[in-house]
Amino acid sequence: MGKLPITTIILAGGKSTRMNGNDKGLLQLNGKPLYQHVIERIESQTDFIMINCNRNLNQYQKAGYPTFIDDLAGYHGPLSGIYSGLLRSTTDWNLFVSCDTPFLPDDLIFRLTQHTTTHYAIYPFDGRYHHPTILLIHKTIITPLKAYLAQGERKLMLFLQQINAYAVDFSDKPSCFTNINTPEILEQLTQSKK
């Protein structure tokens, strides 16, 4: 099987309530915004990159990649960003990654794509936690996703269960999926790098 063309879409559109409302993707780790760390981890693995954000567009646009806001007004969670990204993508397969996971493994896409012949949605499991906001998903899922959102549903894991998504075992690399979603975690990581 040849290499699949894949678009990666960085999800930076949330309200960041646990970060006191600060735009999570723009918070600094080692002198760089979190979303830049994600780009650096993923750019060699993917063909195209886009950024989904709902504020501070001009700052995200500095990275030089297409940037867009959710098509659904208001903050409806990651599924809204996934839906909006699938609408814009030109590739069948699309990887969505949250902007607060700066240590992604260098074989992430390779390992997820091993399951594209049997599943339309694939995400990592680190041995303890599922990471559904790191999601390889086929463009055809846009139809059931649109219907799910139209019903007022927002739960990502529930949707993934409905479409028979597959969890890939990454228990050999749990630290690669560290989420920086509180000021305390960001502070700990900043201190540990000093």
Q: What residues does each domain of the chain span?
A: 6-192
Mean pLDDT of 160-183: 91
Q: Which of 63, 158, 163 is nearest to 122 (CA)?
A: 163
Q: Which fold has domain 6-192?
A: Spore Coat Polysaccharide Biosynthesis Protein SpsA; Chain A (3.90.550)
The dihedral through the CA atoms of 57, 185, 153, 7 has a sign that is: positive
Residue 16 pLDDT greater than 90, yes or no: no
Distance set, CA 28 to CA 35, 67, 187 (Å): 9, 20, 10
Residue 2 pLDDT greater than 90, yes or no: no
The confidence band for 23, taking pLDDT boundaries of 50, 70 and 90, is confident
The confidence band for 13, taking pLDDT boundaries of 50, 70 and 90, is confident
Encoded tokens for 74: 């208001």
| Spatial strand order in the sheet of 121-125 | 67-68, 48-53, 6-12, 93-98, 135-138, 121-125, 166-169
The confidence band for 72, taking pLDDT boundaries of 50, 70 and 90, is confident
pLDDT on residue 187: 73
- Provide, rounded to the nearest whole percent, the portion of the chain with pLDDT above 70: 88
pLDDT on residue 179: 87
Beta strand pairing call for 121-125 and 93-98:
unpaired
Encoded tokens for 175: 């630290």
| pLDDT tens digit sequence for 133-162 | 999 999 999 999 999 999 999 999 999 999
Question: What are residue 9's DSSP bridge partners?
Answer: 50, 96
Q: What element of type H or E holds 97?
A: strand 93-98
Residue 63 pLDDT greater than 50, yes or no: yes
